[in-house]
Structure formats: structure tokens, C-alpha cells
Amino acid sequence: MTVTVDTALAADARRERRFFLSLSLPALFIVGLAAILPILWIIRQSFLTTGGEYTVGNYQKVLSSGLTWSALVTTLELSLGTLAICILLGTPLALALASARPRVANVLMAFVMLPLWTAILVRTYGWLVLLRRDGLINAALTGSGLTAEPLPLVYNFTGTLIGMVHYMLPLFLLPVYAAMRDIDPNLIRAGASMGATLGQVIRTVIMPLSAGGIFSGSIIVLIYTIGFFITPAVLGGGRVNPLSTRIERTLTTFQDWGSASVLGILLLVLMALIGVMLLAARRLLAQNTVDAPHA
């Protein structure tokens, strides 16, 4: 008797599991249709000629081209440059926000989040207006006599980097701010009462305890910036060509689907490499924090 009830219950539980699993199907289907299938299609397309025959020629062409390698270098320069500036600007800003009273901090956070809610093309336009040769910043620089000539701030690497940092800074800030907010204030009080200077407390208490947040923020920056398209396309003015804009040009200007796909795969490989490195780095970081008390 109990055995049959048990099997009936188990069958019921299985049926319910299947039902709950099926509720995910519409969402999973759309991911398959609009994300996974397209990526597989890029892989397929990279092995096809314009006529639709199988070839490895696309790979030979793209990998032997100097443009590809300079695009790769530009991509890394933009990503790592953005990351470095985000850490330099974002960490002190997060510290200031975390040390503010909660009410003040909430209001300030709303302002920090404003760009996050501004459309990407609106922000890009704002930067164009600010950075142009006769734009606001150059007018201020020449007007105050700081520079004699207007500086080339946009349609180049500098402009692209400014736009990318502006996009990523709020996203970098969020995890760092959260980590700093979570620090137990008693630790800092303890440091102070033992005679540590502010600098020492920042170095030995606040920074190690924020490392996880800075690490998460850095991952976000790298993942986003590696494929950035709009900012380099507009603020780079055609002179800054990471993989993303090279893919676009190869596809739309040269109509070379095969080469564009190979470039796309390079981007995927780059993302995978960064992913692996970050996983390894996280493991190291975790080990160090575990080891720290013994050191």
C-alpha cells in the first residue's frame, strides 16, 4: 500500500517538475532563436564563400591582414584603458559615496545613475557637442588661455575612450559601492583607535575588503567594452577601429560576409580568453583572502 502511494507521489512530483520546466520553454526558445542560432550561423558563415561553397579562405584572408591585428590591438587598448580609468575614478568616488550619510548617498547615487538611464546615442551626442573643435570644452580651454589652439578631443582615440569611460563608470561603481557599504564600520573604528592613520586604514582595511567589488566591476567593464560599437563608431570618427567597427565595415561596405564572420569569431575567442583569465584570477583572489589571516 505505502509503496504504491510513494510511487504515485513520485510520479506526481515528476509531473510537476516537468510542468515547471515547461514554463521556461518560451524564454529559452527565444534565446535559442535570437542568440544561439545567430552565433552558430556566424561560425557557419565563416567557412563559406560568397557563392556558398565551403572554404577556409576567409580565415587565411582575415588572419593575414594587418588591419585585423591592429583592430585587435585597438580593442584591447580601449578595453584596458577604460578599465584603468574606471578604477582610478570609480574607486575614490565609491569611497566618497560610501562614507556619506545614507540619505545624501541615495540622492547622489540617483545622479550617478542618471547617465545609465540616458540613451546611449543621447550621451554620445552630448559628448560630440562637448568635445568638438568649437565645442564647449575647447571654448573653455582657449577662452581661459589654458591652450592657444583647440585640442583634438573627438573623432580620435581620446574621444572614444572618454565616451567609453562615461558609459562604464556607473556600472563599475555599483559593485564597488556595494562592497564598501558592506564594510563593518567597527573595523575602521578599531583601526582608528589603535592609531592607524586614514591612509593606513584605507590601504589595509578598506581596499582589501573592497577587492571583490572592484574585481566584479572590472569583469563588467571588460565584458562590455570588448564589443563596444556605437561609441567608437561615432566618437572615433572612422579613425578608431576596434574589431566591432571593422566587422561592421567588412559587412556593410565590403559586403564580405565570410570575413566579417571570421572577425566575429575572433571577438568570441577574445571574450572566451578573458573569461578564462578572470576565472583564474578569481581563484587566486579567493585563495589570497583565505590565506591572509595566516600571513
Partner 1 sequence: MLEAYPHNTLARILLWSFAALAMAFLMLPTLVVVPLSFSASNLLEFPPNAYSLRWYENFFGSATWMAALRTSLILGTLTALIAVPFALLACISMNRLGGKTATTIQSILLTPSITPGILLAIGLFFVLAAQRLVGTLFGVLVGHVVLAVPVACIVLLPALARFDWNQVQAARSLGANWARAIGGIIVPQLQLSLLSATLMAFLTSLDESVISIFISSGRNSTMPKLMFLSLRDQIDPTIAAISTLWTAIVVVVVLIVTLRQKS
Site for partner 1 in 72-131 (CB under 8 A): 89-90, 92-93, 95-99, 108, 111-112, 114-115, 117-130
Binder among 42, 71, 83, 240 for partner 1 (CB under 8 A): 42
* 3 state DSSP class of 101: coil
Residues with Cβ within 8 Å of 163's Cβ and at least 6 positions away in sequence, in order, are 123, 124, 127, 231, 234, 235
Pick between residue 24 and residue 288 the one whose CB is nearest to partner 1: 24
- How many angstroms from the chain centroid is the CA of residue 4? 55
Q: Which of residues 223-262 bind partner 1 (CB under 8 A)?
A: 223, 226-230, 233-234, 244, 247-248, 251, 257, 260-261
Grouping H, G, I as helix, E, B as strand and the rest as coil, residue 1 is: coil
Of 57, 81, 135, 150, which one interacts with partner 1 (CB under 8 A)? 135
Pick one of 141, 207, 209, 271: the residue that binds partner 1 (CB under 8 A).
Answer: 271
Q: Is 17 in the site for partner 1 (CB under 8 A)?
A: yes
What is the pattern of x (binds partner 1, CB under 8 A) and - over residues 275-294? --------------------
Contact status, residue 11 vs residue 3, Cβ threshold 8 Å: no
- Give least dist CB 217 to partner 1, A: 14
- Quick count: other Cβ atoms within 10 Å of Cβ 13? 10
Q: How far is the CB of 55 from partner 1 (least distance, A)?
A: 16
Write out the E strands in 118-277.
none
Which cell numbers hold the place of 50? 560568397
Based on CB atoms, which residue is closest to partner 1, 61 or 181? 181
Q: Counting beta carbons within 10 angstroms of the beta carbon of residue 109, is it exposed (0 to 12), middle (13 to 18) or buried (19 or more)?
A: middle
Task: List binders of partner 1 among 162-221 (CB under 8 A).
Answer: 166, 169-170, 180-181, 183, 185, 188-189, 191-193, 198, 201
Segment lying near partner 1 (by CB under 8 A), choices 30-38, 58-66, 141-149, 279-287:
30-38
CB of residue 246 to partner 1, shortest distance in Å: 10
Q: Quickly count: other Cβ atoms within 10 Å of residue 163's Cβ.
A: 26
Taking CB under 8 A as the binding criterion, the range among 6-14, 40-48, 59-67, 145-153 that sits at the site for partner 1 is 40-48
From the centroid of its chain, how far is CA 55? 34
Whichever of 22 and 64 has its CB closer to partner 1, that residue is: 22
* Cell output for 94: 565609491
Q: Any contact of residue 132 with partner 1 (CB under 8 A)?
A: yes
Cβ proximity to partner 1: between 185 and 293 the closer is 185
Closer by beta carbon to partner 1, 192 or else 285: 192
146 belongs to the binding site for partner 1 (CB under 8 A): no
C-alpha distances out from residue 119 to 32, 76, 124, 199, Å: 27, 25, 9, 39
Q: Quote the radius of gyration of the chain (alpha carbons, Å).
A: 25
* Residue in the block written with cell 556566424: 42
* Measured distance CA(279)–CA(56) in Å, rounded: 32
User: Of 2 and 186, which CB lies nearer to partner 1 in the complex structure?
Assistant: 186
Cell numbers describing residue 244: 566591432
Question: Does 157 contact partner 1 by CB under 8 A?
Answer: no
Shortest Å distance, C-beta 288 to partner 1: 24
How far apart CA 164 and CA 86 sit, in angstroms, is 10
